[in-house]
């Protein structure tokens, strides 16, 4: 179920008349007039609600003799809310594109010919800058502090601040043997 | 004479508007939003035609025949687009839209019938 389908379904369910229709259809398949009689609302109003329920995928219809019968689409109600939440967002690609554009903008603003012009004051921007610097370190290798300083100094003179911030941001880690690059969590 | 008819019509409109407002509140409280919207729509139509009747009386300068001509004319011209929308919805089997338009058309039909009944003998 896509995000927009889920929204349509939830909107559709937030109406007592429609919920009553679904409850009736959970008992057995019914036609419009039967539902109208049972629920005490007019047949056109029942048709109105059934159309919305059908559009949301909550009910299906089939022809039986002279009547159009409506039935509950049980498949859709077997989907758990957790499954719906965990579904990839329709917006995800767009958000990723926006994030990438923002990231590139920050990199362009703070780096010139590979050198860091200044350390950003804003944490979000500094994080991006630090990620670029962290890319200069290989995974699965331990660097002595001196080498770390030399690598960082290629970007900026204040290697002490940057080295400390790389550790604080969880991009590098250290112990008595030296520093190493932390693999990002998937 | 015409004042009495207008007053009767206005009283009827006021009662209809009040009843729609009441049902709207009840349906909203009962989580039946779409049906509450129908009541809002109906209330607005009664209100609009109440205003139109006042305008008809002014334009018709109190002549019952002229007022009737204006008012009946509006019960045909105003809902013309609703009828078109209804037919289009019917073509596409869009029951939800059909119902929305039908609610509006039913109100105008009711207003026209009541007006004709009240206006009888006024001319």
The domains of chain A, with CATH numbers, are: 3-84 (1.10.10.10), 92-181 (no CATH)
Q: What is the reported pLDDT for B49?
A: 96
- Element holding A64 (H helix, E strand): strand A59-64
pLDDT of A139 over the 70 cut: yes
pLDDT tens for B37-58 read 999 999 999 999 999 999 999 9
Q: How confident is the model at residue B29 (pLDDT cuts 50, 70, 90)?
A: very high
Query: Average pLDDT of chain A?
Result: 91
B40 close to A (CB below 8 A): no
Q: What is the reported pLDDT for B40?
A: 96
A156 close to B (CB below 8 A): no
Pick the residue from chain A with its C-alpha nearest to B35.
Answer: A45
Residues of chain B positioned with their CB less than 8 A from the CB of A55: 96
**Mean local confidence (pLDDT), A158-177:** 95
Question: At residue A83, what are phi and psi to the nearest 5 degrees?
Answer: -60, -40
Contact across the interface for A45 and B33, Cβ inside 8 Å: no
Q: How confident is the model at residue A1 (pLDDT cuts 50, 70, 90)?
A: confident
Q: Name the 3-class secondary structure at B121.
A: coil
Query: For chain A, how many residues are written?
Result: 186
B120 close to A (CB below 8 A): no
Query: Which among B34, B94, B96 has CB closest to A15?
Result: B34
CB-CB contact of B83 with B50 (8 Å): no
Residues of chain A positioned with their CB less than 8 A from the CB of B106: none
Interatomic CA distance for residues A80 and A14, integer angstroms = 17
Domain of B69 in residue numbering reads as 2-119
Query: Which among A14, A17, A50 has CB closest to B95?
Result: A50
**Mean local confidence (pLDDT), B58-64:** 88
Contact across the interface for A45 and B99, Cβ inside 8 Å: yes
Hey, of A10, A17, A23, which one would you mutate to test binding to chain B, going by the most B CBs within 10 A of its CB?
A: A17
Structure-token pair, residue A52: 């919305």
**Mean local confidence (pLDDT), B57-81:** 92
Hey, of B96, B98, B103, B106, which one would you mutate to test binding to chain A, going by the most A CBs within 10 A of its CB?
A: B96
Hey, of A35, A48, A56, A70, which one would you mutate to test binding to chain B, going by the most B CBs within 10 A of its CB?
A: A48
How many Å lie between the alpha carbon of A2 and the closest alpha carbon of chain B?
A: 23
Interatomic CA distance for residues B123 and B111, integer angstroms = 19
Residues of chain A positioned with their CB less than 8 A from the CB of B34: 15, 17, 48-49, 52
Neighbouring C-beta atoms of residue A3, cutoff 10 Å = 15
**Mean local confidence (pLDDT), A171-176:** 94
Contact across the interface for B34 and A48, Cβ inside 8 Å: yes
Question: At residue A111, what are phi and psi to the nearest 5 degrees?
Answer: -110, 140
How many Å lie between the alpha carbon of B84 and the closest alpha carbon of chain A?
A: 18
Going by their DSSP bridges, the two strands A115-116 and A172-175 should be labelled as: unpaired
Q: Write down the residue that tokens 């109906």 correspond to.
A: B42
Q: Name the 3-class secondary structure at A42.
A: coil
Higher pLDDT among residues B52 and A185, named by residue: B52
**Mean local confidence (pLDDT), A115-140:** 94
- Contacts (Cβ under 8 Å, ≥6 apart) of A64: A31
Q: What is the reported pLDDT for A119?
A: 94
| Cα-trace Rg, chain A | 29
A43 close to B (CB below 8 A): no
Q: What domain count does chain B have?
A: 1
**Mean local confidence (pLDDT), A12-27:** 94
Q: What is the reported pLDDT for A90?
A: 66
CB-CB contact of B30 with B39 (8 Å): no
Residues of chain A positioned with their CB less than 8 A from the CB of B35: 17, 41, 45
DSSP class of residue A143?
A: B
């Amino acid at each position: 179920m896509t995000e927009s389908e889920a929204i349509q379904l939830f909107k559709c369910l937030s109406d007592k008349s429609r919920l009553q229709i679904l409850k009736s259809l959970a008992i057995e398949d019914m036609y419009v007039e039967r539902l109208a009689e049972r629920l005490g609302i007019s047949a056109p109003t029942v048709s109105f609600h059934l159309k919305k329920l059908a559009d949301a995928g909550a009910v299906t219809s089939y022809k039986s003799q002279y009547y159009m019968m409506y039935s509950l689409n049980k498949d859709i109600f077997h989907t758990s809310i957790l499954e719906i939440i965990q579904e990839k967002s329709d917006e995800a690609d767009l958000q990723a594109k926006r994030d990438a554009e923002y990231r590139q903008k920050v990199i362009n603003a703070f780096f010139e010919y590979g050198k860091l012009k200044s350390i950003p004051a804003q944490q979000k921007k500094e994080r991006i800058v630090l990620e670029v610097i962290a890319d200069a370190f290989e995974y699965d290798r331990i660097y002595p502090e001196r080498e770390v300083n030399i690598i960082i100094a290629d970007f900026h003179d204040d290697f002490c601040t940057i080295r400390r911030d790389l550790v604080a941001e969880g991009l590098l880690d250290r112990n008595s043997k030296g520093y190493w690059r932390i693999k990002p969590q998937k | 004479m015409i004042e009495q008819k207008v007053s009767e019509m206005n009283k009827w409109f006021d009662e209809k508007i009040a009843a729609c407002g009441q049902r709207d509140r009840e349906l909203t409280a009962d989580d039946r939003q779409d049906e509450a919207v129908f009541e809002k729509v109906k209330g607005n139509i009664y209100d609009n035609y109440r205003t139109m009747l006042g305008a008809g009386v002014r334009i018709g300068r109190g002549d019952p025949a002229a007022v009737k001509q204006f008012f009946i004319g509006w019960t045909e011209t105003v809902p013309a687009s609703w009828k078109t929308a209804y037919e289009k919805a019917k073509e596409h089997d869009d029951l939800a839209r059909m119902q929305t338009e039908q609610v509006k058309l039913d109100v105008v039909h009711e207003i026209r019938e009541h007006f004709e009944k009240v206006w009888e003998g006024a001319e």
